């Protein structure tokens, strides 16, 4: 996993906290679908309702694609949260756009990928959030199965789990993110969303999320 720029990472994290797209509750953790207890909840879709934040994210995701994937010929959003971000990027770069479903459409053409499929076309995948990387890499594989040449993926935020880094490395997929958990924590302390004393617990969660607060 790569971060585009440390100053951008801090700004994006701060803005996501400001609009409460990211919430931190170490004393009253959330429960994920996997059963993991988590001190953080991230819903970057909220950024779409805040034009200034939306523009910051769009501009920097465009920068990600332009700087890191200069050969890009198309943009692919991952359903559902990657669709609007991907469409904004594609529009800015004047590139074709497609999106990848989590499962085939249950009627009609039963498409997994919506939009014009052009075998051999070099595509960059857009995600809003990367956790373990499982669903993101499934979308990558679906695009490859359809004949696309996947250059890599850009995302707004990642938790920075070791398992995600391993999954992307094993799949040979380059991942570039705007912000990450390590950039988030100092901003959360600065905004007094969490106390400095809570940082140890927050850091421990990222190291071993499956067992954090499970006793």
Residues at the binding site for orotate are 131
Report how far residue 46's alpha carbon sits from residue 55's, in angstroms, rounded to the nearest whole number.
13
Q: Nearest to residue 19, comparing CAs of 54, 59, 63, 62? A: 54
Q: CA 108: distance to chain centroid?
A: 30
Query: Which residues sit in the known binding site for 5-phospho-alpha-D-ribose 1-diphosphate?
Result: 101, 105, 107, 127-135
Evaluate whether 123 touches 145 at the Cβ level (below 8 Å): no
Evaluate whether 89 touches 78 at the Cβ level (below 8 Å): no
Report how far residue 175's alpha carbon sits from residue 154's, in angstroms, rounded to the nearest whole number.
6
Residue 200 tokens read as: 């140890």
Can you tell me whether residue 8 is helix, strand or coil?
A: helix
Find residue 23's DSSP bridge partners.
Answer: 41
Query: Which residues sit in the known binding site?
Result: 101, 105, 107, 127-135
> Side-chain half-sphere of 96: how many Cα atoms within 13 Å?
13
């Amino acid at each position: 996993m790569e971060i585009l720029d440390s100053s951008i990472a801090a700004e994006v994290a701060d803005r996501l906290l400001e609009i409460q797209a990211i919430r931190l509750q170490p004393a009253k953790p959330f429960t994920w679908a996997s059963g993991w207890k988590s001190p953080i909840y991230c819903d970057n879709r909220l950024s779409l309702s805040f034009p200034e934040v939306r523009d910051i994210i769009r501009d920097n995701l465009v920068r990600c694609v332009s700087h890191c994937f200069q050969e890009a010929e198309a943009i692919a959003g991952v359903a559902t949260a990657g669709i609007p971000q991907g469409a904004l990027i594609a529009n800015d770069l004047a590139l074709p756009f497609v999106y990848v479903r989590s499962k085939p459409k249950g009627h009609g053409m039963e498409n997994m990928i919506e939009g014009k499929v052009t075998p051999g076309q070099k595509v960059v995948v857009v995600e809003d959030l990367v956790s373990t990387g499982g669903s993101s890499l499934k979308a990558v594989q679906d695009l490859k199965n359809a004949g696309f040449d996947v250059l890599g993926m850009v995302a707004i935020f990642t938790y920075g789990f070791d398992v995600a880094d391993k999954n992307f490395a094993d799949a040979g997929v380059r991942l570039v993110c705007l912000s990450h958990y390590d950039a988030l924590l100092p901003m959360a302390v600065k905004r007094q969303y969490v106390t400095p004393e809570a940082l140890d617990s927050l850091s421990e969660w990222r190291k071993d999320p499956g067992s954090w607060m499970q006793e």
